[in-house]
Every structure is written in structure tokens, then in C-alpha cells.
Structure 1
Amino acid sequence: MGGCYFFTVNLLERQRTLLTDHIDLLRDSVRRVRRLYPFHIDAWVVLPDHLHCVLTLPPDTDDFPVRWRLIKLLFSKGLPRTERLSATRRKRSERGIWQRRYWEHTITTELDYSKHIDYVHFNPVKHGYVNRVQDWPYSTFHHFVKDGILPIEWTNNSEVEGKYFGELNEG
């Protein structure tokens, strides 16, 4: 039970910008769920159409599905109804906001943990939203800098050129 996990959670319509347009609603949804079902946020980044995070659950549970279901539900309920709904989603009383599934990976080693933390923080650069990690506002990278864990110039030097950030490369 417990454990540390990496997640990728996507909007249904990947070209939308709901997550950053409604960042306060997303933050509030996460806060509310954490009060009911605790978890530790190790790293988190929110992009316009998806998010990545590394979360650690308390030792007495491994029930991350209920946490994601509630985060998605609270966020969706707070949005104005503008999305197109398929017949299946209407039948199931679902909003057309989120992809039903998400990517989950159990983190088992320190190296795996470190790579996924790096991947989370580097993601806005990878997708071309910014040139420097520190320029993306919706990331725990800023907490890592404030706490002295990472320098503000992280990834701004030649030492990281060609480095893989959490991707499947052991070399």
C-alpha cells in the first residue's frame, strides 16, 4: 500500500486550453480532494491540455483512482457547459472534458523518481510553451528553486543538452 506514482492526465480535446485557462479551479479541486483523500505532491506541471505529476500516497492506501475521479469531477462541475457531447457521454451523464483513462506508472527506484521529477519540470520546454523551465508559471519547479533543491538556471546550460527527462532511456 502507499507508494509513489507518476501520472499523465489529458483533456479529451487536446487542442483546448481549459487547464491553464481555469488554473484556480483546478488548484481548488486538487486542494479539496487532498483534504478528503490525502496525498503528497512531489512534482506537478499543468499545461493547457494535460498535466503530469508525481504523487505519493499515504502508507495505508493505494486508491489513486478515487482521487483522480474526484479531481476530474470537481474541475468539470466548475466549468461552464460548452463542450460537445457524444451520445455515449450523454447516456452516462459525463461531461466531455477529460479522457476517461490516464497514464500511471509506479515509481520503484530513486533514479526512476528523479527522472520523472525532471520530466514533469521540463515538459513545458519539451512542448515548446517556453524556452526556459523557470518561465512556465504552472509548475512545482518554482517550489524546488525556493527550497534550494534546484537552481533557477536548471537546464539552461550545456550540462543537460541531450539529457532525457523521465523518458525511456537508461543511457
Structure 2
Amino acid sequence: MAAGVARLDAPPGMPRYRRYFAPGQTVFLTLVCHERQPLLRSEAAKRLILDALRDQRLRHPFKHHAHVLLDDHLHLLLSPAEQVTVPRLVGGFKLAVLARWPGACRLWQRRYYDHIIRDADDFARHLDYIHFNPVKHGLVAHAGAWQWSSLAAWRARGAYGSDW
């Protein structure tokens, strides 16, 4: 198999997806809870997710650009280090969360959505999408009211105004 190409094995009758990621390329990811259950609803669950994400940065280095945690899914915008593949990073993250999760349950959907960021405009669109997501889902009236995203860090950099 060519470098940068990851094949995800699937059960018989299911499609086999091919994903291509160039080393170090920025990617937008969506990970969804099993059957869209609101398993990440609690503050403790959200903190657990962020802790697992921090730990995975040590195991599978990546640059963390942005995130948002909602009750049943999360979005990430990141750039893996050259030696790190996105499937390995996502798989490691899912396992790290499960290792910390109280009680045995099926936490994640098997698949995840990915989109390779093509240019600065695409990056900006996905950054806005991430930060607006809690408003889109009716969790808050304005994005700044949702504490479980990277919006505050981007505001501190001057990328977003206080009215956003």
C-alpha cells in the first residue's frame, strides 16, 4: 500500500474506504457518539475528552488548531506530525477515551468524517463552522457562550471579535 494511504477494513458486504492524507496536512474531523447518544453531555465527559486529546498529542503528535465538543459529537481541526497518520491518531484517541470512560459501553460510531483542508479559505470556513456549531445545534444563542470550544483562544489571538 502506498505511503499516506490508509485502508480501513470493513465487515463483509461493507465498503472499504480509502483515505489519503499527505504528511502534516491539516484535516477537519468529526467523531460521533454511537447512535448519536448524548454521551458527552456532562462536564466530566467533556473534560475526559479534552484530557484524552492532550494525551494523544504526546503519543501521536499533532498541531491542534480548533475543537468543539457537543453532547453527541466533536469536531477537530488539526495537523498531524509527518510520521502520524490520521487513522492511527483517531483510533488512538478513541481508545484513550474508552480507557478513561467509566463503565463499559459502545461510545463511538465506527467511522468518522474527514476533510482535507485545501487552502486558507477552506481553513477559515471550517474554523467558523467549528465555533458556530453549538449555535447551529441550539445549545447557545451565541458562540461565545459555549465553553467547550477553542473560540476563546482564537479570540485572544484577535481572530474573532467579542460579538462573534
> CA–CA distance in 2 between the matches of 1:28 and 1:43?
15
Deviation string 1:136-158 (CA, Å, 9 cap, x unpaired) is 0100001011222211211xxxx
Secondary structure of the structure 2 residue equivalent to 1:16: coil
**How many residues end up aligned between the 2 structures?**
141
Q: Which digits, 9 at most, give the CA deviation of each residue in 1:110-163, with x for residues without a partner?
A: 111110000000000000000100000100001011222211211xxxxxxxxx
- For residue 105 of structure 1, give the secondary structure of its aligned residue in structure 2: strand
Unaligned runs of 5+ in 2: 1-22
**C-alpha root-mean-square deviation of aligned residues, in Å?**
1.4
Match of 2:59 among 36, 42, 51: 36
Q: TM-score, normalized by length of structure 1?
A: 0.77
Task: Tell me which residue corresponds to 2:141.
Answer: 131
1:56 partnered with 2:79:
yes
Asked if 1 retains the 8 angstrom alpha-carbon contact of 2:30 and 2:73, the reply is yes
Q: Which of 70, 75, 78 in structure 2 is aligned with 1:47?
A: 70
2:102 is equivalent to residue 80 of structure 1: yes
Distance 1:23 1:113 in 2: 24
SS in 1 for 2:125: helix
Indicate the percent of aligned positions where both proteins have the same amino acid: 35
* TM-superposed deviation, 1:61: 3.1
Query: Offset of 1:13 from its aligned partner?
Result: 3.0
More strand by share: 2
For the residues of structure 1 that align with 2:24 and 2:36, how far apart are their CA atoms?
A: 31
* Offset, 1:15: 3.0
TM-score by length of 2: 0.81
| Higher normalized contact order (CA 8 Å, seq sep 6+, divided by chain length) | 1
Amino acid at match of 1:113: F
Structure 1 residue 19: Cα displacement:
5.6
Counterparts of 2:76 and 2:41, CA distance in 1: 14
Shift of 1:17: 3.3
State the AA in 2 paired with 1:81. G
Structure 1 stretches of 4+ moved >6 Å: none
Distance 1:46 1:4, change over 3 A: same
- Aligned-partner Cα distance in 2 for 1:17–1:104: 21
In structure 1, runs of 5+ residues without a counterpart are 84-95, 155-171
Contact kept, 8 Å, 1:20 with 1:47, in 2: the verdict is: no
Q: CA deviation at 1:18?
A: 2.3
What residue identity is the alignment partner of 2:48?
L
Give the Cα–Cα distance (whole angstroms) in 2 for the partners of residues 67 and 20 of structure 1.
24
Q: Distance in 2 between matches of 1:19 and 1:77?
A: 18
- Quote the residue 2:120 is aligned against: 110
What amino acid sits opposite 2:66 in the alignment? A
